[in-house]
Amino acid sequence: MKRYLIGIDGGGTKTHGVISTFEGEVISEAFKGSANFQMLGVETVAKSLVELIYELINGANCQTSDVELVVIGITGAGREKDRERIYTGIVNYAEVEKLSLPKLIIETDARIALEGAFMGESGIILIAGTGSVMFAKDVAGEIHRVGGWGRFIGDEGSAFVIGREALRAVAKCVDGRGKETILKQLIFEEFNLTDLMQVVSEIYSGKFDIAKVAPLVMKAAELGDEIAIKILDDACFELLAHIRAMLKKARFGEKVNLALLGGVLQSDNYVSRRLKDMIAQELPEINLVRPASSPAYGAVIYGKNLIKKQNGIA
């Protein structure tokens, strides 16, 4: 009888799931919408995840009893309390719908991305998307984290912080406390504003996605806007500081692989280019690489290694 593993990457934009044999062959994959439980609610995300699990099981023509483990990496689930809430939400939904479930483990999306990027081997990932965080697995197999403190006290170099700093600069410009910046025109045009207070009201009611301002900052920097360039340079310095801190924390050889993940770093823009140049000039021990596999497959690797460890194989 074949044994299966399910890996799910629950991101802020989309959710990607794969079902694989224990030997690593992907049989089927499927997608759902956002898994941002902080915005959508635990119940909504739990329903979507259970549906995805069953879609994968049906796609592989197997039964829930054939699946040894489901590993789900969820965006924003850095705290144990939040992971417990998600787990409970999934189990409760399945019980109400009278659905059986395989064994479940909830992890952070960054943790499974680390496994996918290096196929379970050592390396560092730096993620800068809506938020930012850095994870590493060193040569001894120890896991280390830098950053990931959330938007109120951390997330440096992320789209959220870049967008927030741009809005601050525009507010100062409107008041006459700061320099003129093309960011004002770009933001007003993009969001159909006649007054910055329009966006302030939406921000505090949770209806405005500050991270969506970040691409406008990239555009302004390309046009030579000094304020935008300063915001993005600061983001790069903060991300470089993450890397320096990790190199002090974790044990690596003479060279260490680093994969850049997230919308800010995986697209071609001012920040991604500038940061790569800074790394090349200041951190010669870093070898920039592309992720070897997806975070969803990283969840499969994580689950397989966990089972092997529990069975005394690894």
| Mean pLDDT, all residues of the chain | 90
Per-residue model confidence (pLDDT) at position 1: 67
What is the C-alpha separation between 36 and 52, in angstroms, rounded?
15
What is the architecture of the domain spanning 4-117+294-310?
2-Layer Sandwich (3.30)
- Secondary structure of the chain as H, E, C letters: CCCEEEEEEECCCCEEEEEEECCCCEEEEEEECCCCHHHHCHHHHHHHHHHHHHHHHHHCCCCHHHEEEEEEEECCCCCHHHHHHHHHHHHHHHHHCCCCCCCEEEEEHHHHHHHHHHCCCCEEEEEECCCEEEEEECCCCCEEEEECCCCCCCCCCCHHHHHHHHHHHHHHHHHCCCCCCHHHHHHHHHCCCCCCHHHHHHHHCCCCCHHHHHHHHHHHHHCCCHHHHHHHHHHHHHHHHHHHHHHHHCCCCCCEEEEEECHHHHCCCHHHHHHHHHHHHHCCCEEEECCCCCHHHHHHHHHHHHHHHHCCCC
Per-residue model confidence (pLDDT) at position 150: 81
On the question of pLDDT at 183 being above 60, the answer is yes
- Amino acid letter for position 112: I
**Does this chain's domain 4-117+294-310 share its CATH topology with 123-289?**
yes
What is the C-alpha separation between 309 and 129, in angstroms, rounded?
32
Q: Which CATH number fits domain 123-289: 3.30.470.20, 3.30.450.90, 3.40.50.300, 3.30.420.40?
A: 3.30.420.40
Give the β-pairing of 123-128 and 132-137: antiparallel
pTM, 2 dp: 0.85
Per-residue model confidence (pLDDT) at position 290: 94
pLDDT digits (tens, 9 = 90+) for 256-300: 999 999 889 999 999 999 999 999 999 999 999 999 999 999 999
On the question of pLDDT at 314 being above 60, the answer is no
Domain boundaries, the chain: 4-117+294-310, 123-289
Per-residue model confidence (pLDDT) at position 12: 76
Average pLDDT over residues 182-201: 86
